[in-house]
Amino acid sequence: MKYVDEFRNPERAKALLREIETLAARIHQCRRRPIALMEVCGGHTHTIFKFGIEAMLPESVELVHGPGCPVCVLPMGRVDDCIALAESPGVIFTTFGDAVRVPGSKKSLLGAKAGGADVRMVYSPLDALKIARANPGKEVIFFGLGFETTMPSTALTVLQAEREGIRNFSLFCNHITIIPTIKAILDSPELELDGFLGPGHVSMVIGMGPYQFIAKHYRRPLVIAGFEPLDILQSVWMLLKQIAEGRCEIENQYSRVVPPNANSAALAAISQVFELREFFEWRGLGSIDRSGVRLREAYADYDAERKFSVPALRIADPKSCQCGEVLKGVIKPWQCKVFGSACTPETPLGALMVSSEGACAAYHRFGGLGRKSHKANAA
Amino acid sequence: MTVMPRRPESAASRSKGSLHVPAVTLAHGGGGSAMRDLIDDVFVSAFDNPVLAALEDQARLPLAELASLGDKLAFTTDSYVIDPLVFPGGDIGKLAVCGTVNDLAVGGAVPLYLTCSAIIEEGLDVDLLRAIAKSMASAAAGAGVAIVTGDTKVVHRGACDKLFINTAGVGVIRKGLDLGADRCRPGDAILVNGLLGDHGAAILNARGDMALTAGIESDCAALHGLIAELLKAAPSTRFIRDATRGGLATVLNEAAKASSTGIRIIEDAIPMREEVKAFCEILGLDPLYLANEGKIVCVVPQDEKDAAAGAMRGHPLGKMTAIIGEVTGEWPGRVVMNTVLGGSRIVDMLVGDQLPRIC
């Protein structure tokens, strides 16, 4: 596959790994604990597991799988709201595929569908708008989900609906924003992170500017990383190089996609349609100030939360579930009390076990081969 | 080969009903003359064999001819509910014949007879139904099997999706042949007969959600001939399974669990079209789990692997045969893949369907 295989070349991977080993050994000489690097984005987690990258790294480098899977951090109460909307009479509920299995307090969207709700998987919010056009007698709700990566397409769809005067389309908005979340992780007292692999596609929208505080105030390096295996390895190498040289900077490994400046057209669409909520609830992390968005008053007609009544109940995460500690990198997935016993991909308790980008599901599915700490799990 | 029992000629001389309406209605399921017209015109005329033409409630198969072929009867059933009914590389009819023929053949059986049970949603286009029945007939003729009994039901709109077909099949396994997932042993080689993932990608693409023009066709084919060649060249073959729903990954997991061995495959050695890989990259799917309808996974002892691969490559449906890995003593019950990058990862069973990723 052109423009993909080049970024999966095993010879280049070997060369990078040698450099990584040399740097890691140098850094590790003057410290006891391993070098902990968090990949913020679920797409990175997916690549790391799919190609078996974690086990190729030296043992002194640990990857912590961060909160960047939008499906995983969705609290149970919001899933219940989805199901209530989907089960309302006359509603077609449209959603991205990997959200349908996320457990609510009683069932998932897949369960609601089996019970008769009209739940349809779409690949884009524009597909949802198409369904609204084709079904004027029905109310079509789109389950808006994701960080700044998917926000512009949702915003443009709302604007398109307004232009066409489509009245039977609305958005159940669960879009979240990455910066306050990284800040919340950095403020966590248990924090033991040495650097971040920054989200590639989010950065394509917001640019490099918003990350500067991480280097300035928190003295942690961040490298914006692409999604192919060599992107990840090169970004790890760039982070280690910064650590070894005592630098804390925001660097861009993914420059073939991410420009230094923000995408102003995308940001304009976002700010025309959305405004920040005072706070938003995250599964595992709790409430984070100004971390979610909702539709502005001017687009209230397209807001499913105002158009329909949703229960909007806060459901506490199951007590036994340690998703939050996994998300913050305090424990590894297999160290969770219920990993693989009460919580499995078949019957997930925490959302990290649901999506293929969730760290726990990835460990369960792809395993961790070749590292001492993972062997108990894989066996 | 085909064993065709002889039936009295009288039934065949009965005057055949014919259908003159554009769409199937509930009247065609009512048990009266409309139903007979549908059965005669669409199915009996297409399948065209004396056992079926007798239109008894059961096919009558002579035991002596079956017994001459081996000492075990293989008996299988499968239901086909595919959307869309017609897709690049095939249709539900061809699929319903090839799928059941393959289910017999992977057990080492010579496939002989099939049934055909059709559940039809009212309103289905009669010409489409005729085309599908013809496609079944031609696939059956190609595979050397006869469709000897069947049934039709017509249901209310919405009670099924256009057309569901069930086919059951019988075949005979020769004496001494015993294939099974539990027979895999460390050191055995794992082979596939060609490019994986075509069927799954073609069907997803044909549904049109993605508006991609990938030009990928289903690999739907009857594999009994290929399997016969394989068994001749590698008589100690341990296990054969068609990699249908759940794909290669699922078959390998079943073999690893049934035999309490580990399986190691090499990502680079797995034959796959660039288009299929690209299609999966875009949708965030894993091609190892995509369905195939013309691919088998075979496990053969190390000393027969070259003979097996050679024989399969000599058959038109096995030209791209590849040795993709081996059975090991490590990680019992698990499948491990050496990735293109040089790492390794576990290839697990899927919980449900693959779901496209959000971003």
Inter-chain contact B281–A146, Cβ cutoff 8 Å?
A: no
State residue B98's pLDDT score.
Answer: 98
Write out the E strands in B108-212. Answer: 109-121, 146-155, 163-173, 189-192
Residue A369 pLDDT level (bands cut at 50, 70, 90): low
A333-339's contacts with Cβ under 8 Å and 24+ in sequence apart are A333/A65, A333/A359, A333/A360, A333/A362, A333/A363, A333/A364, A334/A363, A334/A368, A334/A373, A334/A374, A334/A376, A334/A377, A336/A360, A339/A363, A339/A364, A339/A377
Amino acid of residue B107: G
Residue pair B150/B115 in contact by the 8 Å Cβ criterion: yes
Contact state of B209 with A127 under an 8 Å Cβ cutoff: yes
Mean pLDDT, range A233-257, rounded to an integer: 97
> Does A378 sit within 8 Å of B274, measured CB to CB?
no
Residue B12's pLDDT is what? 46
Which conformational region is residue B144 in: left (phi greater than 0), alpha (psi within -120 to 50 degrees), or beta? Answer: left
Minimum distance, in Å, between the CA of residue B353 and any CA atom of chain A: 10
**Cβ(B87)–Cβ(B203) below 8 Å:** yes
Q: How many CB atoms lie within 10 A of CB A310?
A: 19
Strand partners, A276: A293
Q: Distance between CA A176 and CA A290 in Å, rounded?
A: 9
Contacts of B63 (CB under 8 A, 6+ apart): none
Q: How far apart are CA B41 and CA B24, in angstroms?
A: 12
Please list every residue in chain A whose beta carbon sits closer than 8 Å to the beta carbon of residue B331. Answer: 378-379
What is residue B23's DSSP assignment? B
Chain A partners within 8 Å of B286 (Cβ): 50
State the ipTM, two decimals: 0.85
Model pLDDT, residue B37: 92
CA B23 and chain centroid, separation: 29
Side chain identity at residue B186, one-letter code: P
pTM of the model: 0.90
DSSP 8-state secondary structure symbol assigned to residue B313: H
Contacts of B289 in chain A (CB under 8 A): none
% of chain A surpassing 90 pLDDT: 66
Q: Are strands B322-328 and B189-192 parallel, antiparallel or unpaired?
A: antiparallel
Per-residue pLDDT reduced to its tens digit, A129-144: 999 999 999 999 999 9
Phi, then psi, of A277 in degrees rounded to 5: -80, 155
CA atoms of A298 and A196, how far apart (whole Å) = 37
Cβ-based neighbour number of residue A59 at 10 Å:
13
B348: nearest CA partner in chain A: A365
Question: How far is the C-alpha of B3 from the C-alpha of A94, rounded, in Å?
Answer: 53
Residue A320 confidence (pLDDT): 86
Within 13 A of B5's CA, how many CA atoms are on the CB side? 18
Size of interface A-B (CB pairs under 8 A): 99
Q: Tell me the mean pLDDT in the region A331-344.
A: 89
From B267, which residue of chain A is nearest by alpha-carbon distance? A51
pLDDT above 90 (res A354): no
- Which positions of chain B have pLDDT values less than 50? 1-12
Nearest CA in chain A to B277: A1
Query: Which of A316-320, A347-351, B129-133, B291-295 shows the lowest mean pLDDT across its residues?
Result: A347-351
